Amino acid sequence: MVKRQNQLGVRNSNNAGGEAPEMRLKWNPLFDDTSRLFSPVIDADTSSELKLSFKHFNVYVFGSYELLVQTSTDDGTTWNTEWNVMVTGDIGPETIYIELDHLAGETFRIAWVFDGYTLYNDDWYIDDIIVEEN
């Protein structure tokens, strides 16, 4: 089991394009696996349409790896990919918009996922996560 507690945390920076602070996934300590930062349970029981937006900035080093946004309606037992990108260069800062209409009426979690070897990455910054009705 790889220790990861220092990799993810709130930083007093604004690289994703929002206002400080923001979340950061750091490359060090190294791991080659899947890492998920996930939200509390979101109750969209009374919603008919849903949209997710967030700001992010990923600083690339070399190689390739994948960034994803996934959702789970069974408390993390299974994850469904809503957005993904194979990283081969810096990404952002930019705002991503994802339609989540299929989750209206559900309770779910949202995860920001790094899949690959963190040696290939520098930092991934995330900020201003908004889930709203369209």
Interface residues with Ca ion (CB under 5 A) are 18-19, 22, 127
Quick one: which H or E segment has residue 69? strand 65-72
| Beta strands 51-60 and 91-99, pairing class | antiparallel
CB of 25 vs Ca ion, minimal distance in Å: 15
Q: Which is nearer to Ca ion, 55 or 109 (CB)?
A: 55
- HSE of 68 in the Cβ direction (CA atoms, 13 Å)? 16
Q: Which is nearer to Ca ion, 22 or 123 (CB)?
A: 22
Distance CA 38, CA 128 (A): 14
| Beta strands 51-60 and 80-87, pairing class | unpaired
- HSE of 105 in the Cβ direction (CA atoms, 13 Å)? 3
CB of 18 vs Ca ion, minimal distance in Å: 4
Q: Which is nearer to Ca ion, 79 or 125 (CB)?
A: 125
CB of 77 vs Ca ion, minimal distance in Å: 30
CB of 90 vs Ca ion, minimal distance in Å: 20
Q: Which of 53, 39, 77, 32 has its CA nearest to residue 127?
A: 53
Strand, helix or coil at 78?
coil
Q: Which is nearer to Ca ion, 19 or 45 (CB)?
A: 19
